[in-house]
Amino acid sequence: MLYFSVERGFYYEYENDIPQIEEQAQSDTEIIMQAMTDLELANIEAQQERQMLAQQLSDLELALLEGGVYNV
């Protein structure tokens, strides 16, 4: 029977109670590249949030300078 090890990232098969590695699901390089991509996406999302907050702050400052509170 074929099993998959999540911790180790490979398929293995038991023969005579000894696990035999069949194939590696992801190489170390693929895992590192995926982690780097995930971090880059998180950085882009954080940058977009900062830009949105900066725009909202600018809108509020403008509303205060104009002497009133508008729908911001």
pLDDT band at 39 (very low <50, low <70, confident <90, very high): very high
pLDDT at 71 (0 to 100): 56
Residues 6+ apart with CB under 8 A from 31: 9
pTM of the shown model? 0.52
State how far the Cα of 52 lies from the Cα of 61, in Å rounded to an integer. Answer: 14
Higher pLDDT, 7 or 44: 44
Mean pLDDT in the chain?
A: 76
State how far the Cα of 51 lies from the Cα of 43, in Å rounded to an integer. Answer: 12
DSSP, collapsed to helix, strand or coil, labels residue 40 as helix
Contact (Cβ atoms closer than 8 angstroms) between residue 17 and residue 3: no
Please write the tens of the pLDDT for every residue from 6-31: 555 555 555 555 555 555 556 778 88
Domain boundaries, the chain: 2-65
